[in-house]
Amino acid sequence: MYAELLKNKIQLLKESGQYREFVTINRIRGQYPLATLSGKKNDQSVVVWCSNDYLGMSQHPLVTAAAQEAIQLFGVGSGGSRNIGGTHKHYNRLESSLADWHNKEAALVFPTGYGSNDATLQCLLRLLPDCTIFSDELNHASIINGIRSTKAACAVFRHNDVSHLEELLVEQPIDQPKIIVFESVYSMDGDVSPIKEICDLAEQYNALTFIDEVHAIGMYGPRGAGKAAELGIEHRLDIIQGTMAKGIGVIGGYIAASNEIIDVIRSFASGFIFTTSLPPSIVAACNASLEHLKASNHERDVLHRKTKILREELNRAGIPIMKSSETHILPVLIGEAQKCKDAAKRLLERHRVYLQPINSPTVPVGTERFRVNVTPNHTEEQILQLKDALIEVFNHFDIVFVEQSDVTMQ
Protein backbone atom coordinates (compact mmCIF):
# COMPACT_ATOMS: atom_id res chain seq x y z
CA MET A 1 0.00 0.00 0.00
CA TYR A 2 2.64 2.50 1.05
CA ALA A 3 4.90 1.81 -1.92
CA GLU A 4 1.98 2.36 -4.30
CA LEU A 5 1.05 5.66 -2.64
CA LEU A 6 4.61 6.91 -2.94
CA LYS A 7 4.98 5.71 -6.54
CA ASN A 8 1.84 7.62 -7.48
CA LYS A 9 3.31 10.82 -6.07
CA ILE A 10 6.46 10.38 -8.15
CA GLN A 11 4.44 9.53 -11.26
CA LEU A 12 2.49 12.78 -10.94
CA LEU A 13 5.76 14.70 -10.75
CA LYS A 14 7.06 12.96 -13.87
CA GLU A 15 3.87 13.63 -15.82
CA SER A 16 4.02 17.33 -14.96
CA GLY A 17 7.68 17.62 -15.98
CA GLN A 18 8.64 18.61 -12.43
CA TYR A 19 10.53 15.44 -11.54
CA ARG A 20 14.10 16.30 -10.57
CA GLU A 21 17.05 14.32 -11.86
CA PHE A 22 20.63 14.78 -10.72
CA VAL A 23 23.36 15.47 -13.24
CA THR A 24 26.72 14.19 -12.01
CA ILE A 25 29.06 17.14 -12.57
CA ASN A 26 32.73 16.75 -11.65
CA ARG A 27 34.33 20.14 -11.39
CA ILE A 28 37.96 20.29 -12.50
CA ARG A 29 40.31 21.71 -9.88
CA GLY A 30 42.04 24.82 -11.16
CA GLN A 31 39.87 25.00 -14.30
CA TYR A 32 36.55 26.27 -12.93
CA PRO A 33 33.96 26.76 -14.50
CA LEU A 34 34.89 23.64 -16.48
CA ALA A 35 33.64 20.24 -15.38
CA THR A 36 33.37 16.71 -16.71
CA LEU A 37 30.35 14.42 -16.83
CA SER A 38 30.58 10.98 -15.26
CA GLY A 39 30.61 8.24 -17.85
CA LYS A 40 32.00 10.55 -20.52
CA LYS A 41 35.51 10.84 -21.86
CA ASN A 42 37.79 13.23 -19.97
CA ASP A 43 37.89 15.61 -22.93
CA GLN A 44 34.10 16.00 -22.83
CA SER A 45 34.25 19.05 -20.59
CA VAL A 46 31.21 21.29 -20.04
CA VAL A 47 30.91 24.90 -18.87
CA VAL A 48 28.96 25.30 -15.63
CA TRP A 49 26.61 28.32 -15.62
CA CYS A 50 24.44 27.68 -12.57
CA SER A 51 26.84 27.20 -9.66
CA ASN A 52 26.44 29.26 -6.50
CA ASP A 53 30.24 29.36 -6.17
CA TYR A 54 29.72 32.94 -7.29
CA LEU A 55 33.31 34.16 -7.00
CA GLY A 56 35.10 30.89 -7.73
CA MET A 57 36.67 30.97 -4.27
CA SER A 58 36.41 27.18 -3.90
CA GLN A 59 39.30 27.02 -6.37
CA HIS A 60 41.45 29.80 -4.91
CA PRO A 61 44.96 28.56 -4.04
CA LEU A 62 44.90 30.19 -0.59
CA VAL A 63 41.63 28.44 0.24
CA THR A 64 42.59 24.97 -0.95
CA ALA A 65 46.01 25.25 0.72
CA ALA A 66 44.41 26.15 4.06
CA ALA A 67 42.13 23.11 3.86
CA GLN A 68 45.01 20.79 2.95
CA GLU A 69 47.18 22.08 5.78
CA ALA A 70 44.37 21.59 8.31
CA ILE A 71 43.81 18.01 7.12
CA GLN A 72 47.51 17.24 7.62
CA LEU A 73 47.35 18.66 11.15
CA PHE A 74 43.93 17.53 12.39
CA GLY A 75 42.51 14.85 10.06
CA VAL A 76 39.18 15.06 8.27
CA GLY A 77 36.53 15.05 11.02
CA SER A 78 35.63 17.45 13.82
CA GLY A 79 35.13 14.84 16.51
CA GLY A 80 31.73 15.92 17.80
CA SER A 81 29.29 18.73 18.43
CA ARG A 82 30.53 22.16 19.41
CA ASN A 83 29.87 21.37 23.06
CA ILE A 84 31.52 17.96 23.02
CA GLY A 85 34.91 17.95 21.36
CA GLY A 86 33.96 19.80 18.18
CA THR A 87 35.21 23.33 18.91
CA HIS A 88 38.71 23.64 17.45
CA LYS A 89 40.95 26.70 17.21
CA HIS A 90 39.82 27.66 13.71
CA TYR A 91 36.28 28.23 14.98
CA ASN A 92 37.26 31.04 17.33
CA ARG A 93 39.08 32.86 14.55
CA LEU A 94 36.22 32.43 12.07
CA GLU A 95 33.48 33.63 14.42
CA SER A 96 35.53 36.67 15.44
CA SER A 97 36.22 37.46 11.79
CA LEU A 98 32.53 37.15 10.83
CA ALA A 99 31.47 39.43 13.68
CA ASP A 100 34.04 42.00 12.55
CA TRP A 101 32.87 41.66 8.93
CA HIS A 102 29.32 42.62 9.87
CA ASN A 103 30.22 45.10 12.63
CA LYS A 104 28.49 42.94 15.24
CA GLU A 105 29.52 41.90 18.73
CA ALA A 106 29.55 38.18 18.02
CA ALA A 107 28.84 35.45 15.49
CA LEU A 108 27.92 31.77 15.58
CA VAL A 109 28.78 29.20 12.89
CA PHE A 110 26.48 26.33 11.85
CA PRO A 111 27.18 23.38 9.53
CA THR A 112 24.87 24.86 6.85
CA GLY A 113 23.08 28.06 5.91
CA TYR A 114 19.79 26.16 5.98
CA GLY A 115 20.49 25.12 9.55
CA SER A 116 21.39 28.62 10.70
CA ASN A 117 18.03 29.98 9.49
CA ASP A 118 15.98 27.05 10.70
CA ALA A 119 17.55 26.68 14.14
CA THR A 120 17.76 30.40 14.93
CA LEU A 121 14.16 31.17 14.01
CA GLN A 122 12.84 28.09 15.82
CA CYS A 123 14.74 29.08 18.93
CA LEU A 124 13.70 32.74 18.98
CA LEU A 125 10.04 31.99 18.28
CA ARG A 126 9.92 29.46 21.10
CA LEU A 127 11.65 31.73 23.61
CA LEU A 128 9.94 35.05 22.90
CA PRO A 129 6.45 35.04 24.48
CA ASP A 130 3.54 35.55 22.05
CA CYS A 131 5.94 36.54 19.28
CA THR A 132 4.54 37.26 15.82
CA ILE A 133 6.84 36.84 12.85
CA PHE A 134 6.42 38.83 9.63
CA SER A 135 7.83 36.95 6.64
CA ASP A 136 8.30 37.95 3.00
CA GLU A 137 6.28 35.63 0.76
CA LEU A 138 9.39 34.67 -1.26
CA ASN A 139 11.58 33.75 1.69
CA HIS A 140 13.71 30.61 1.42
CA ALA A 141 12.40 27.20 2.49
CA SER A 142 14.76 27.18 5.49
CA ILE A 143 13.03 30.30 6.83
CA ILE A 144 9.55 28.97 6.10
CA ASN A 145 10.25 25.60 7.73
CA GLY A 146 11.84 27.24 10.76
CA ILE A 147 8.67 29.24 11.29
CA ARG A 148 6.28 26.35 10.59
CA SER A 149 7.98 24.11 13.15
CA THR A 150 6.77 26.43 15.93
CA LYS A 151 3.35 27.55 17.11
CA ALA A 152 4.16 31.22 16.60
CA ALA A 153 1.75 33.46 14.71
CA CYS A 154 3.05 34.25 11.23
CA ALA A 155 1.98 37.12 9.00
CA VAL A 156 3.19 36.81 5.39
CA PHE A 157 3.61 40.09 3.51
CA ARG A 158 3.63 40.50 -0.25
CA HIS A 159 7.08 40.34 -1.76
CA ASN A 160 9.09 43.52 -1.02
CA ASP A 161 5.82 45.37 -0.27
CA VAL A 162 6.54 47.66 2.70
CA SER A 163 3.03 49.13 2.62
CA HIS A 164 1.55 45.68 3.13
CA LEU A 165 4.10 44.96 5.85
CA GLU A 166 3.06 48.11 7.69
CA GLU A 167 -0.61 47.14 7.41
CA LEU A 168 0.23 43.91 9.20
CA LEU A 169 2.51 45.51 11.80
CA VAL A 170 0.00 48.15 12.84
CA GLU A 171 -2.44 45.43 13.88
CA GLN A 172 -0.10 44.25 16.66
CA PRO A 173 0.40 45.91 20.06
CA ILE A 174 3.62 47.95 20.18
CA ASP A 175 4.95 45.97 23.17
CA GLN A 176 4.25 42.53 21.68
CA PRO A 177 7.43 40.73 20.49
CA LYS A 178 7.82 40.81 16.71
CA ILE A 179 10.40 39.66 14.16
CA ILE A 180 10.59 40.77 10.53
CA VAL A 181 12.45 38.19 8.43
CA PHE A 182 13.47 38.82 4.83
CA GLU A 183 16.31 38.32 2.36
CA SER A 184 18.59 40.96 0.89
CA VAL A 185 18.94 39.30 -2.55
CA TYR A 186 16.31 36.82 -3.69
CA SER A 187 17.91 33.90 -5.47
CA MET A 188 15.24 33.02 -8.02
CA ASP A 189 14.40 36.53 -9.26
CA GLY A 190 17.73 38.29 -8.60
CA ASP A 191 16.00 41.28 -7.00
CA VAL A 192 16.92 43.25 -3.88
CA SER A 193 14.75 43.98 -0.85
CA PRO A 194 13.99 47.50 0.47
CA ILE A 195 16.28 47.02 3.46
CA LYS A 196 16.28 50.61 4.71
CA GLU A 197 12.50 50.92 4.53
CA ILE A 198 12.02 47.64 6.40
CA CYS A 199 14.40 48.86 9.10
CA ASP A 200 12.38 52.08 9.36
CA LEU A 201 9.22 50.06 10.01
CA ALA A 202 10.99 47.77 12.49
CA GLU A 203 12.09 50.77 14.54
CA GLN A 204 8.67 52.39 14.34
CA TYR A 205 6.80 49.25 15.43
CA ASN A 206 9.38 47.81 17.85
CA ALA A 207 10.32 44.70 15.87
CA LEU A 208 13.54 42.72 15.60
CA THR A 209 15.01 42.42 12.11
CA PHE A 210 16.43 39.20 10.68
CA ILE A 211 18.04 39.48 7.25
CA ASP A 212 19.24 36.56 5.13
CA GLU A 213 22.26 37.78 3.13
CA VAL A 214 23.34 34.45 1.64
CA HIS A 215 23.18 35.57 -2.00
CA ALA A 216 24.93 38.88 -1.29
CA ILE A 217 27.78 37.67 0.92
CA GLY A 218 31.13 38.27 -0.78
CA MET A 219 29.65 40.18 -3.73
CA TYR A 220 28.47 43.50 -2.29
CA GLY A 221 29.69 46.10 0.17
CA PRO A 222 33.13 47.67 0.69
CA ARG A 223 34.53 44.44 2.18
CA GLY A 224 32.01 42.06 0.64
CA ALA A 225 29.80 41.80 3.71
CA GLY A 226 26.55 42.11 1.76
CA LYS A 227 23.81 44.54 0.82
CA ALA A 228 23.33 45.98 4.31
CA ALA A 229 27.04 46.81 4.40
CA GLU A 230 26.77 48.37 0.95
CA LEU A 231 24.08 50.68 2.35
CA GLY A 232 26.00 51.30 5.57
CA ILE A 233 23.09 50.16 7.76
CA GLU A 234 24.30 46.92 9.33
CA HIS A 235 23.83 48.50 12.77
CA ARG A 236 20.08 48.73 12.10
CA LEU A 237 19.71 44.97 11.62
CA ASP A 238 19.51 42.80 14.72
CA ILE A 239 20.48 39.49 13.10
CA ILE A 240 22.46 39.05 9.90
CA GLN A 241 22.44 35.51 8.55
CA GLY A 242 24.90 34.33 5.95
CA THR A 243 26.63 31.37 4.40
CA MET A 244 30.13 30.23 3.53
CA ALA A 245 28.79 28.00 0.73
CA LYS A 246 28.30 30.61 -1.98
CA GLY A 247 30.47 33.72 -2.28
CA ILE A 248 33.00 32.33 0.19
CA GLY A 249 33.09 29.08 -1.78
CA VAL A 250 33.21 26.47 1.00
CA ILE A 251 30.31 25.28 3.24
CA GLY A 252 28.65 26.39 6.46
CA GLY A 253 26.19 28.99 7.73
CA TYR A 254 26.26 31.61 10.44
CA ILE A 255 24.47 34.42 12.22
CA ALA A 256 26.04 37.68 13.44
CA ALA A 257 24.31 39.66 16.17
CA SER A 258 24.63 41.03 19.71
CA ASN A 259 26.32 39.04 22.45
CA GLU A 260 22.93 38.35 24.05
CA ILE A 261 21.32 36.95 20.91
CA ILE A 262 24.31 34.78 20.05
CA ASP A 263 24.52 33.38 23.57
CA VAL A 264 20.82 32.53 23.58
CA ILE A 265 21.01 30.70 20.23
CA ARG A 266 24.20 28.89 21.33
CA SER A 267 22.50 27.80 24.55
CA PHE A 268 18.96 26.96 23.41
CA ALA A 269 18.86 26.18 19.66
CA SER A 270 18.57 22.41 19.30
CA GLY A 271 19.57 22.59 15.64
CA PHE A 272 22.90 24.01 16.76
CA ILE A 273 23.47 22.04 19.96
CA PHE A 274 22.75 18.54 18.68
CA THR A 275 24.69 18.45 15.43
CA THR A 276 28.29 17.60 14.60
CA SER A 277 30.41 20.66 13.93
CA LEU A 278 32.29 21.52 10.76
CA PRO A 279 35.75 19.88 10.51
CA PRO A 280 38.95 21.95 10.87
CA SER A 281 39.74 21.74 7.14
CA ILE A 282 36.43 23.39 6.21
CA VAL A 283 36.66 26.11 8.84
CA ALA A 284 40.28 26.84 7.91
CA ALA A 285 39.25 27.19 4.26
CA CYS A 286 36.42 29.55 5.28
CA ASN A 287 38.91 31.66 7.24
CA ALA A 288 41.28 31.91 4.29
CA SER A 289 38.52 32.84 1.85
CA LEU A 290 36.93 35.37 4.19
CA GLU A 291 40.18 37.16 4.97
CA HIS A 292 41.01 37.37 1.26
CA LEU A 293 37.57 38.76 0.34
CA LYS A 294 37.73 41.35 3.10
CA ALA A 295 40.88 42.79 1.58
CA SER A 296 40.40 42.17 -2.15
CA ASN A 297 37.91 43.90 -4.44
CA HIS A 298 39.26 42.12 -7.51
CA GLU A 299 36.81 39.19 -7.53
CA ARG A 300 33.81 41.47 -6.91
CA ASP A 301 34.83 43.93 -9.60
CA VAL A 302 35.34 41.22 -12.22
CA LEU A 303 32.05 39.53 -11.29
CA HIS A 304 30.07 42.73 -11.78
CA ARG A 305 31.87 43.59 -15.02
CA LYS A 306 31.18 40.17 -16.51
CA THR A 307 27.58 40.19 -15.27
CA LYS A 308 27.12 43.45 -17.17
CA ILE A 309 28.62 41.96 -20.33
CA LEU A 310 26.44 38.85 -20.11
CA ARG A 311 23.29 40.84 -19.40
CA GLU A 312 23.93 43.11 -22.40
CA GLU A 313 24.64 40.16 -24.72
CA LEU A 314 21.48 38.32 -23.70
CA ASN A 315 19.40 41.49 -23.98
CA ARG A 316 20.67 42.12 -27.50
CA ALA A 317 19.79 38.56 -28.44
CA GLY A 318 16.26 38.89 -27.04
CA ILE A 319 16.83 36.21 -24.40
CA PRO A 320 14.20 36.96 -21.73
CA ILE A 321 15.96 37.93 -18.51
CA MET A 322 13.34 38.60 -15.86
CA LYS A 323 13.06 42.34 -15.32
CA SER A 324 13.21 41.95 -11.54
CA SER A 325 16.92 41.05 -11.72
CA GLU A 326 19.26 43.78 -10.58
CA THR A 327 22.11 41.63 -9.29
CA HIS A 328 24.58 38.99 -10.49
CA ILE A 329 21.70 36.47 -10.69
CA LEU A 330 20.16 36.43 -14.17
CA PRO A 331 16.90 34.42 -14.36
CA VAL A 332 16.13 33.40 -17.96
CA LEU A 333 12.42 32.72 -18.34
CA ILE A 334 11.31 29.54 -20.14
CA GLY A 335 7.75 29.29 -18.80
CA GLU A 336 7.02 25.56 -19.04
CA ALA A 337 8.44 22.72 -16.93
CA GLN A 338 8.94 20.05 -19.59
CA LYS A 339 10.30 22.54 -22.10
CA CYS A 340 12.72 23.80 -19.45
CA LYS A 341 14.00 20.25 -18.84
CA ASP A 342 14.27 19.52 -22.56
CA ALA A 343 16.11 22.79 -23.20
CA ALA A 344 18.59 22.00 -20.41
CA LYS A 345 19.21 18.56 -21.88
CA ARG A 346 19.88 19.98 -25.34
CA LEU A 347 22.19 22.68 -23.94
CA LEU A 348 24.23 19.99 -22.21
CA GLU A 349 24.35 17.40 -24.98
CA ARG A 350 24.69 19.68 -28.00
CA HIS A 351 26.49 22.74 -26.62
CA ARG A 352 28.29 21.43 -23.50
CA VAL A 353 26.54 24.08 -21.43
CA TYR A 354 25.28 23.05 -17.99
CA LEU A 355 22.19 24.93 -16.80
CA GLN A 356 19.84 23.26 -14.34
CA PRO A 357 16.09 23.79 -14.93
CA ILE A 358 14.35 25.59 -12.06
CA ASN A 359 10.81 24.26 -11.85
CA SER A 360 7.90 24.20 -9.39
CA PRO A 361 7.75 24.16 -6.38
CA THR A 362 10.93 26.25 -6.28
CA VAL A 363 9.23 28.78 -8.57
CA PRO A 364 5.54 29.17 -9.48
CA VAL A 365 4.12 27.08 -12.32
CA GLY A 366 4.42 29.04 -15.55
CA THR A 367 7.62 30.83 -14.51
CA GLU A 368 10.04 27.92 -14.99
CA ARG A 369 13.48 29.26 -15.74
CA PHE A 370 17.24 28.92 -15.86
CA ARG A 371 19.17 30.79 -13.19
CA VAL A 372 22.31 31.94 -14.97
CA ASN A 373 25.32 32.89 -12.86
CA VAL A 374 28.48 34.21 -14.46
CA THR A 375 31.62 34.19 -12.31
CA PRO A 376 35.00 35.95 -12.50
CA ASN A 377 36.36 32.70 -13.95
CA HIS A 378 34.15 32.69 -17.05
CA THR A 379 35.80 34.12 -20.15
CA GLU A 380 34.19 36.56 -22.57
CA GLU A 381 34.44 33.85 -25.22
CA GLN A 382 32.39 31.52 -23.00
CA ILE A 383 29.82 34.28 -22.52
CA LEU A 384 29.37 34.57 -26.29
CA GLN A 385 29.18 30.78 -26.62
CA LEU A 386 26.41 30.70 -24.00
CA LYS A 387 24.46 33.37 -25.87
CA ASP A 388 24.73 31.45 -29.14
CA ALA A 389 23.73 28.20 -27.43
CA LEU A 390 20.63 29.79 -25.89
CA ILE A 391 19.62 31.28 -29.24
CA GLU A 392 19.84 27.86 -30.91
CA VAL A 393 17.88 26.15 -28.14
CA PHE A 394 15.22 28.86 -28.02
CA ASN A 395 14.71 28.50 -31.77
CA HIS A 396 14.63 24.71 -31.59
CA PHE A 397 11.92 24.60 -28.91
CA ASP A 398 10.02 27.72 -30.05
CA ILE A 399 10.69 29.50 -26.79
CA VAL A 400 9.61 33.12 -27.00
CA PHE A 401 12.23 35.81 -27.59
CA VAL A 402 11.54 39.35 -26.39
CA GLU A 403 12.65 42.88 -27.21
CA GLN A 404 15.25 44.14 -24.73
CA SER A 405 14.26 41.38 -22.27
CA ASP A 406 11.18 43.23 -21.04
CA VAL A 407 10.03 40.38 -18.81
CA THR A 408 8.07 41.33 -15.70
CA MET A 409 6.69 37.96 -14.53
CA GLN A 410 7.63 36.87 -11.02
Q: For residues 275 and 368, give the distance between their C-alpha atoms in angstroms, rounded to a whole number.
A: 35
- Whether the CB-CB separation of 27 and 35 falls below 8 Å is answered with yes
- Given 104, 178, 227, 246, the catalytic residue: 246
Spatial contact of 278 and 33, defined as CB atoms under 8 Å apart: no
What's the number of CA atoms in the CB half-sphere (13 Å) around residue 385? 17
Active site residue 246: yes
Q: How far apart are the first and last CA of the chain?
A: 39
- Check if the beta carbon of residue 314 is closer than 8 Å to that of residue 390: yes
Q: Is there a contact between 50 and 370 (Cβ–Cβ < 8 Å)?
A: yes
CA 166 remoteness from chain centre: 27
Dihedral Cα 318, 322, 323, 325, nearest 10 deg: -120
Within 13 Å of residue 390, how many CA atoms lie on the same side as its CB? Answer: 29
What span, in angstroms and rounded, lies between the C-alpha atoms of 180 and 184? 13
Q: CA–CA separation, 42 vs 34, rounded Å?
A: 11
> How would you classify residue 224: left for phi > 0, otherwise alpha for psi between -120 and 50, otherwise beta?
left
**What is the enclosing helix (H) or strand (E) of 181?**
strand 178-183
Query: 208 pairs with which residues across the strands?
Result: 179
Phi-psi region of 35 (alpha: psi -120 to 50; beta: other; left: phi over 0): beta
Residues designated catalytic: 246
